[in-house]
């Protein structure tokens, strides 16, 4: 056996050991084992190359790694209830078995990630209420402040009303057009606030959030 052949065997053996007994990389281990067996059983490197090509082992190896990675990512997103980010691994796993070349694999993953990145961007507009929490509290302070009668109109009414008018203007002139650059039919959906991926960034009682949602709708003219 040529020295170069021996070195190839050692190389593929080290790759195989990287995934051995790792429950996250079951498919990768089997794929790496196929490559190792091919080089270990080949009479020479040329025969190994022919086996890899005829059995499409290199592409199968790439697919196996993607399958393991996306399966782990899918499980993670399911556990933390990231329902929108979950779309990417779900779609990639659904399409993997139809891939036959490395170029198809690369293009498919790129297309899916691009599609889902838009969905994620649109979904993140739900968190505008989180960005507005300090303003909502400030408006509430003005509206409920105990001040001398001579300043009540200015402090309790005029100032918070000006803030609300500015909020509505910004919403209609900036935030909505920006969101509709990604989704022409976008409308703010307050029910999404209660979904885990958004709710967990506002860790206060439900009754407080309900009040903030009502204030937010007024502040933004929704």
Residue 169 confidence class, pLDDT cut points 50, 70, 90:
very high
Task: Give 173-191 pLDDT, tens digit per residue.
Answer: 999 999 999 999 999 999 9
Note the Cα 29 to chain centre separation in Å. Answer: 27
Alpha carbons 120 and 114: distance in angstroms, whole number: 10
Going from N- to C-terminal start, the domains of the chain cover 3-122, 132-220
Task: Compute the average pLDDT of residues 53-61.
Answer: 95
Is pLDDT at 135 greater than 80 in this prediction? yes
pLDDT for res 2: 87
Token pair in block for residue 161: 């009303």
Task: Compute the distance between CA of residue 200 and CA of residue 193 in angstroms, rounded to an integer.
Answer: 10
Rounded mean pLDDT, 127-140:
97
Report how far residue 147's alpha carbon sits from residue 159's, in angstroms, rounded to the nearest whole number.
Answer: 13
Task: Give the three-state DSSP class for 204.
Answer: coil
């Amino acid at each position: 056996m040529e020295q170069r052949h021996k070195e190839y065997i050692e190389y593929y053996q080290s790759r195989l050991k990287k995934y051995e007994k790792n429950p996250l990389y079951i498919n990768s281990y089997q794929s790496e084992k196929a490559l190792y067996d091919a080089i270990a059983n080949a009479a020479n490197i040329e025969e190994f190359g022919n086996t890899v090509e005829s059995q499409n082992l290199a592409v199968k190896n790439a697919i196996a790694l993607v399958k393991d990675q996306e399966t782990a990512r899918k499980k993670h997103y399911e556990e933390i209830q990231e329902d929108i980010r979950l779309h990417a691994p779900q779609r990639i796993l659904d399409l993997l078995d139809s891939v036959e070349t490395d170029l198809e694999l690369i293009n498919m993953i790129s297309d899916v990630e691009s599609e889902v990145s838009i969905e994620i961007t649109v979904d993140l507009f739900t968190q505008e209420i989180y960005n507005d929490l300090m303003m909502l509290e400030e408006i509430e302070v003005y509206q409920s402040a105990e001040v001398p009668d001579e300043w009540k109109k200015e402090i309790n009414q005029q100032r918070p009303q000006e803030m609300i008018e500015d909020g509505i203007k910004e919403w209609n002139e900036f935030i909505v057009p920006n969101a509709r650059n990604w989704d022409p039919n976008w409308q703010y959906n307050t029910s999404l606030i209660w979904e885990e991926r958004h709710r967990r960034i506002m860790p206060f009682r439900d009754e407080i959030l309900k009040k903030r949602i009502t204030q937010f709708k007024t502040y933004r003219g929704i």
